[in-house]
Amino acid sequence: MTPKEIGERIKIARENKELNQKELAEKIQVHPATIKRYEDGFIQKIKMPIIQSIAIALSVNPMWLLGKSEFMQTSDMIETWNQSDIPDFPNIFPIETKKVRLLGKIAAGQPVMAEECFDSYVQCGTDIHADFCLRVQGDSMINARIYDGDIVFIHKQPEVENGEIAAVAIDDEVTLKRVYMSDNFVELRAENPKYKPMVFNQSNCLNFRILGKAIAFQGDIV
């Protein structure tokens, strides 16, 4: 399916939901102009986490948006499956999923201002014990295979072991880095050699807080 055809399906689903481009943009934490570019087919490849967020916001099947399913609603697909004669394979097991609240964006680069959005959710397996998730912005963690646009799932906890990846609040900004603690300072290290370690202490940071440990990541899967 071409980008233009995907964009047309996004527009159909948005109008069925009675949302304008600005309202959809607010739900998935992008600029309204980006929604217009999606719908006009100007973006050649929309990342799967974005497709999933759009699908959740519009209550449609993400595979329908991509042209990989004829069912606009997942409920229609499930009902058809239930009515069809699907063979029973002993080594295939159903995957249980749940929704995790998407709070906004987190920097994988220089820290960005904290943002929160409580209207969006991301689907994940029930084995991921996350309290919330964030969308990665930047390339500072690419050597840990965490890329721009990925979803990072966070388990709330005030402390992490040295070397673990965590979501960290620095005054009014948030970032995703490996954390190394000492008695007098905190060092945040990227997983990209072009970014230097960031060192914080009482003289250059009034408020440092670990929001939680990164326990899982969801990338661009199609």
Q: pLDDT of the chain along its 222 residues, tens only?
A: 899 999 999 999 999 989 999 999 988 888 989 999 999 999 888 888 888 889 888 988 888 899 888 888 766 555 554 555 555 666 665 667 788 888 877 877 555 444 555 557 888 888 889 999 988 988 999 999 999 889 999 999 999 999 999 999 887 788 999 999 988 889 999 999 999 999 988 777 778 889 999 999 987 543
Give the class (CATH, top level) of 3-83: mainly alpha
State the catalytic residues: 140, 177
Residue 202 buriedness (CB in 10 A; 0-12 / 13-18 / 19+): exposed
Residue 221: per-residue pLDDT: 43
Phi-psi sector, 4: left (phi>0), alpha (psi -120 to 50), beta: alpha
- The verdict on pTM exceeding 0.75 is no
Query: 53: which 2 tokens?
Result: 């967020």
Task: Tell me the CATH number of domain 97-218, given options 3.40.605.10, 2.40.50.140, 3.50.50.60, 2.10.109.10.
Answer: 2.10.109.10
Cα–Cα distance, 50 to 135 (Å, whole number): 9
Q: What is the location of CATH 1.10.260.40 in the chain?
A: 3-83
Residue 93 has a pLDDT of: 59
d(CA 17, CA 155): 32
- How much is the CA Rg of the chain, to the nearest whole Å? 20
In the chain, which residues fall in CATH 2.10.109.10?
97-218
